[in-house]
Each structure stands twice: as C-alpha cells, then as structure tokens.
Structure 1
Amino acid sequence: MDIKQLRYFTAVVAEGGFSGAAAKLHLSQPSLSKAVRTLEDQIGFQLLERTTKRVDLTESGRVFHERALQVLAEMDLFEKEVGEVKIAGSGEVRIGMIESVKNWIPGVLSWYRQEFPDMHVALKEVLTRPDIEHALRNYDVHACLTNEYIEEDDIVSQPLYEEKLVLVMSTAHRFAGLEDIRLAHIADEPFIITGKGFQTRANILQAFEAEGLVPNICSDADRFETILTLVEAGIGISIIPRNYIGGTVPETLAIKELDSASLNRTVYLASMKNRYRPPAIEMLLCRMKAGEPYLTD
C-alpha cells in the first residue's frame, strides 16, 4: 500500500465512481480500477460496493476512507514543510494580520530586515476567525496577528500587547468638544460599525449591551480605512482601535476614550502548535512575542 493508491481510492469515493475519478486523475478507467482492486487485495477486505451506476463504500471501507483522508492530509502538510526547510539566506515568511497592527508591525520588520535581509516578508490581511484558522491550517501563513484568542488543539495563541478601542468622530460633530463622553451620550447617534464576523463589532456591541444600550447602526464596513472616510465626511461616528490611527491624528478627526472594559482588548500571535518553522521564521515570531515597545503613542 502506498500514497498513490490512497489518492486513487479517495478520488473514486469523491467522484462517486471510476469514470469521473479516472478523468480527474488523467488515468484510464481500467488502470484505476485495477489499482483499487490491488489495494483491496493488499489489505484483505473489500472497500467498495460496485454497481453499474456508481460505487459506495462498504462498512469497512468507510473506516478505511476516513483514515486515508487523515493520512493524505498529513502527507500534504509534510510535503509543504519539506519545501520550507530553509535556513536564513533566502525564503519567505507569510504573516496574516488585522488592520490595527499597521503601526506596530513596522518596528518588528525594521529589526528583521537588518537581521535577515534576504528573507521576503509577505503581509496578508486575515480578519475573521474562520479565515485565520483556514489560513493557518492550509499553510497560507506562518502566523497571524489577531484580536481573537483562538484555543484549538492544533493552534496556540500568544498575547502580544493591549489595545484600546476609541470613539472617533468628525471635528465638526456636536460632541467633538466634550471632554467626558459616555456610551449613553452616543447611543442615538448614526453609528458606523465593522461587518458581521469581525471581533471589533463583537467588542462594540458587548460594550453597549453591558450598559443596556443599542447603537443606532447606519452603516457597516469591513475596513477601518473606509470607516474613517465615512466619519470624516460626517456620515456618522464609530469606534475603532486607537493603534490604527497612529501617533498623528488627522485634523479632521476627534478621538475620545470611553470607559468600558469591553473596549480594551488583547492582540495575539496565533500559530500552528506543532508546525515546523525554519530558524529565520522562528526568530521573527520570537521577536514579536518578546513584547518590544513598538506601539505608537
């Protein structure tokens, strides 16, 4: 029994028959049928019930098929890892990130560029939890900077730093000159919020709910850049991470801190627990976890 036989067998199951699987595998149907027969002979039991129209798994075949998929998935990851076994000198590190780290990540990468000048760094926006888990498990990225704590058997989350969500409004807004603003003051104001599935949205709604309030949502947007454009235009107000704005606040914006525990959160570094990473990549992740003060005040 070898990997090729397992791929042939699972393809037949996926396609529901030999003809479709043969076409997908670029094999003749007799050759594919013979390969699966050989596999059955080797393991000593029948895997498939064959009819004139399709094939179905036997009871033993279902158990074998489930395990075969696991083995093939592990093999695919192994092949990816083999392709990444490189020491510093050349190679690529891929980091998923949320928008609010844009003023934090340059400090880390400045150091990394000096230490590993031949390493290519690819930054990719990965925003929602399902996207983060998929990107990590599919080896699209080596790690993700996220505002969600992900606790899974195969994924580990390391806290990096704290960030605060703040109220943003146009300087022309009637509340822009107030010093003490509470959620109760803004509950009826037209509110722009991140889209469904984003942790920032959950944080904001939790903050309002904790005070028995419901925001007056007038617009949804997936990117903070879009939200700030709408805020500056006077469309509404919003709450976004303070770190996203950076040290220099645009003259068109007014920023106010709000007293709510739900608007303080942690940024994490999420990565696959048992994934091999070349030393040059591991060094970057260790630097991130060291807690260097890269944040802009």
Structure 2
Amino acid sequence: MDVRELQYFITVVNQRGFTKAAEQLHISQPSLSNAIKRLEEEVGIQLIDRNTRSFRVTAEGKYFYSEALKLIQHFNLIKEEANKMKEKGPFELSIGLIESSLVWVPNVIINFKKKYSDVRVRLLEILSLQNVEDALLNFDIHLAITNQYIRNNDIDVIPLYKEKLVALLPIDHSLQRKKTVKLQDLANDSFIVCKQGFQSREDILQAFMQLGLRPNIQFEIERFETASQLVENKLGVTIVPENYVKYTRNGKYIVRKIVDMDIRRTVYLAYEKNRFLPEMVSEFMKLTREFFTK
C-alpha cells in the first residue's frame, strides 16, 4: 500500500465511480480498477461493492476512506513542512494566545529556545471560540493557549491552570475604601465586558445571574487592555483575570477581590489531534505542562 493507491481510492469515492475518477487522475479505467483491487487485497477487506449497479462504498470502505484522508493530510503536511525548511530555512512555531498568557509564555519560550534556537516563534492573539477553532482546524497555528473549552472531536484540550477574576474600579470610585467588593456592589455601575463569543463574558454573566443580578452593560470589548483603559478614564468598571493585572505595570485603577462569588476561569492548551505535529511542537507543549506542574 502506498500514497498513490490511497489517493486513487479517495478520488474514486469522491467522484462516486471509476470513470470520472480515472479522468481526473489521467489514467485508464482498467488501471484504476486494478489498483483498487490490489489495495483491497493488501488490506484484506472489500472497499467497493461491485455487486450492485449503482456505485456503493462498503461499511469497511467508509471507515478506510476517513482514515485514508487523515493519512494523506499528514503526508501533505510533512511535505509542506519539509519544503518550508528547504526554501525558508528553520521551522516556524505558531502559537495562538489569550492576552493574560503573555505574562508567563516568555518563560516557556526561554527554555524552548535552548533546544530550538533557530526556530522562529510566531505569537498571535486569538481570542474568541470560533477564531480559536478555525485557526487550529485550518492549520494556521500549531497550538492554542485559550480559556475557551472547545467541544470538537478533532481538537484535544488539556487544562493548564485556573485563575481568579478580580474587579477593576476607577480611581476615586465610591468603593475605593473597601478591601473587597461584591458583585452586588457593581450591578448598577456602567459595566465593561467582553463581546459575545468570549468565555470570560459567559463566566462573568453567569456569576451575576446566580445572584439574581443583571449588570448594566455599557461597553463590549475584545481585549482586557481596552477594558482597563476605559476604567482608567472613569467610564465604568470591569472584571479581568488576576494574572493580567498582577503583571501589568502602571495601571491607574483600583483592583479588588470579589467575595460573594468565586469567579475563576480555566486556561487550556489545545491542538488539532489529527494533524502531524513536528517534534518542536511536542516539545513546547511538554515544556508548557512542566512549567505549571512545577
């Protein structure tokens, strides 16, 4: 069994017959039919039902087809990576990130670069659930660090850590003298929250809902940096991950813990499990997991 035979079989299934498939592959129909017969003999199962007038793939053939697609995809990816290396030099590692992960990712990259000093690292902020899924499934990135829990059979999701969310208040806010705040205290303020499709929005609004509250949403944003700037300009209050403000310098706002609800979010490492991943990608994932186990 070779790649060519797999490609022949895939084309026959896609074209639902030997005649059109042979035309597309630019080979004779008898040659194509013989190639499929050889493939069936090699794998020991019947892939095409030849006892009916209409074209039909057997149940075993359907399974073989789906697995053959994955193998061809992996083969093409390996060729693509090899060509990139030949034409452009070292490999490139592409990582999709959420904003708050930028406070620790450089530590992992330092260790990664000790082994892969010539590898270019491309960091892309990819925030919404749909964008993360699309980037992984379209192979735009090798892996994603995200707070979105992805329910997709083609994507594996590994929990890395949990982080608390805290309230950001403008300077001179009426709650500035309090060491902690409650969601109830924030319910009537002009509220700043992530737009639809972001997990942080769902987590925050769910916490308000559990207390029978509805925040006064006046601003919808994508980045915590934008939310922080709005708070600094006294346009409202917001809730952000604790790690984000912990490492942000010169923030002109007040940070307060929330005590009536323990709002946390989980940060995950996600990757497309059917994709061929170069060794450098596996190494980065290993270093990331080790960073948090330590």
TM-score by structure 2 length?
0.75
Whole-angstrom CA distance in 1 between matches of 2:259 and 2:8: 60
The answer (yes or no) to whether the contact 1:169–1:254 under 8 Å persists in 2 is yes
Which residue is equivalent to 2:176? 176
Which residue is equivalent to 2:56? 60
Which residue is equivalent to 1:3? 7
The answer (yes or no) to whether the contact 2:159–2:268 under 8 Å persists in 1 is yes
Percent identical: 30
5+ residue gaps, structure 2, are 37-47
TM-score by structure 1 length?
0.74
Whole-angstrom CA distance in 1 between matches of 2:266 and 2:23: 56
Change in Cα spacing, 1:275 to 1:167, as seen in structure 2 (3 Å) is: same
The answer (yes or no) to whether the contact 1:166–1:257 under 8 Å persists in 2 is yes
Change in Cα spacing, 1:8 to 1:256, as seen in structure 2 (3 Å) is: same
Pairwise mapping of residues 1-297 of structure 1 onto structure 2 (< 5 A)?
3=7, 6-7=10-11, 10=14, 32=24, 60=56, 71-72=68-69, 74-84=71-81, 90-150=90-150, 152-259=152-259, 263-292=263-292
Whole-angstrom CA distance in 2 between matches of 1:35 and 1:9: 16
Post-superposition CA distance 1:78-113 (Å, at most 9, x none): 311343468xx9311111111111111111112222
Shift of 1:151: 5.0
Whole-angstrom CA distance in 1 between matches of 2:58 and 2:194: 43
The answer (yes or no) to whether the contact 1:206–1:262 under 8 Å persists in 2 is no
Change in Cα spacing, 1:32 to 1:269, as seen in structure 2 (3 Å) is: closer
Point out the more displaced range, 107-116 or 212-221. Answer: 107-116
5+ residue gaps, structure 1, are 19-29, 48-57
The answer (yes or no) to whether the contact 1:159–1:289 under 8 Å persists in 2 is no
Shift of 1:159: 2.1
The answer (yes or no) to whether the contact 2:191–2:236 under 8 Å persists in 1 is yes
The answer (yes or no) to whether the contact 1:8–1:32 under 8 Å persists in 2 is no
Whole-angstrom CA distance in 2 between matches of 1:243 and 1:193: 17
Which residue is equivalent to 1:50? none
Q: Secondary structure of the residue that 1:257 maps to in structure 2?
A: strand
**CA RMSD of the aligned region, Å?**
3.6
Change in Cα spacing, 1:237 to 1:293, as seen in structure 2 (3 Å) is: farther
Whole-angstrom CA distance in 1 between matches of 2:132 and 2:245: 23
Shift of 1:251: 4.7
Whole-angstrom CA distance in 2 between matches of 1:261 and 1:218: 22
Post-superposition CA distance 1:250-274 (Å, at most 9, x none): 3511111112555112211112335
Point out the more displaced range, 63-72 or 133-142. Answer: 63-72
Code of the aligned partner of 2:98: I
Q: Secondary structure of the residue that 2:181 maps to in structure 1?
A: coil
